Amino acid sequence: MPKERINHQITADPVRLIDPDGKQIGVLSLREAQRRADEAGLDLVEISPTAKPPVCRLLDFSKYYFQKEKKAREAKKHQHEVEVKEIKFGPNTEEHDYNFKKNNAIKFLKQHNKVKFTVRFRGRQMAHKELGYKILDKIKADLALIADVDQEPVSDRNMLSIIVSPKKEIDRIMKEAAKTPESPETQTDPQNS
């Protein structure tokens, strides 16, 4: 985390000074602002170096920095790291395997992760790329209720792939879908019936 410039590290002159209570004192010379900080027994901290003139505040820097790091740690705790999960198909994937992989994709989307679907072709299968497009179109249609397509099908040598991400309101959609008997999960998953 970058530290703000404090006291004699500040080079801007003049500066807009704010007192410890958050009230604006006004635009002062750097020397006058530093003198006021010394009198109050506080640090002169450059809060907004890009402002015209730069904004400095009188405060106890060690306490300020501790609070700032604490807030950053708290924010990081509540952040969800989005992962891209990959699900692979072959061009001749059977219906049962397709449904199993689709249910895994639904699970990943519920966890707010992106999902990359890949169809890999081997040998003579390369002549039938339309089978791969058919699988990807089917998965797009089946997941249209809960996922948005980030990247349309892309062909790369012997692979086709798309990336989907969960809709912003996926939690609400999944709750509503769980109430109705024809939800994306209950259609194909025999364990839920």
Q: What is the pLDDT of residues 134-154, one digit of tens each?
A: 888 898 888 888 888 888 888
Question: With bands split at pLDDT 50, 70 and 90, how would you rate the model's confidence at 182?
Answer: low
Instruction: Kindly state the helix (H) or strand (E) to which residue 165 belongs, with its residue range.
Output: strand 159-166
Q: What are phi and psi of 24, to 5 degrees?
A: -80, 125
Examine the pLDDT at 192 and tell me if it is beyond 50.
no
CA distances from 149 to 45, 53, 62, 118, 157 (A): 46, 46, 47, 14, 21
Examine the pLDDT at 23 and tell me if it is beyond 50.
yes
User: Can you give the pLDDT at residue 181?
Assistant: 61
User: Can you give the pLDDT at residue 183?
Assistant: 47
User: Is residue 62 left, alpha or beta, with left meaning phi > 0 and alpha meaning psi from -120 to 50?
Assistant: alpha
In the chain, the N- to C-terminal Cα span, in Å, equals 51
Locate CATH 3.10.20.80 in the chain.
Answer: 7-76
User: Can you give the pLDDT at residue 12?
Assistant: 83
Q: Are 161 and 116 in contact (CB under 8 A)?
A: yes
- 59 Cα distance to chain centroid: 33
7-76 has which CATH code?
A: 3.10.20.80
Lowest mean pLDDT, pick from 1-5, 34-38, 83-87, 187-191? 187-191
**Model confidence pLDDT, tens digit, residues 86-133:** 899 888 888 999 999 999 988 888 888 889 999 998 888 888 888 888
Is the pTM higher than 0.75? no
User: Helix, strand, coil proportions of the chain in percent (round to 5)?
Assistant: 45, 25, 30
Locate CATH 3.30.110.10 in the chain.
Answer: 84-192
Percentage of the chain beyond pLDDT 70 is 91
**Model confidence pLDDT, tens digit, residues 53-80:** 889 889 888 888 888 888 888 887 776 6
CATH architecture of 84-192: 2-Layer Sandwich (3.30)
Examine the pLDDT at 46 and tell me if it is beyond 80.
yes
Quote the crossing angle between the two packed helices 170-179 and 95-110, to the nearest 10°.
Answer: 130
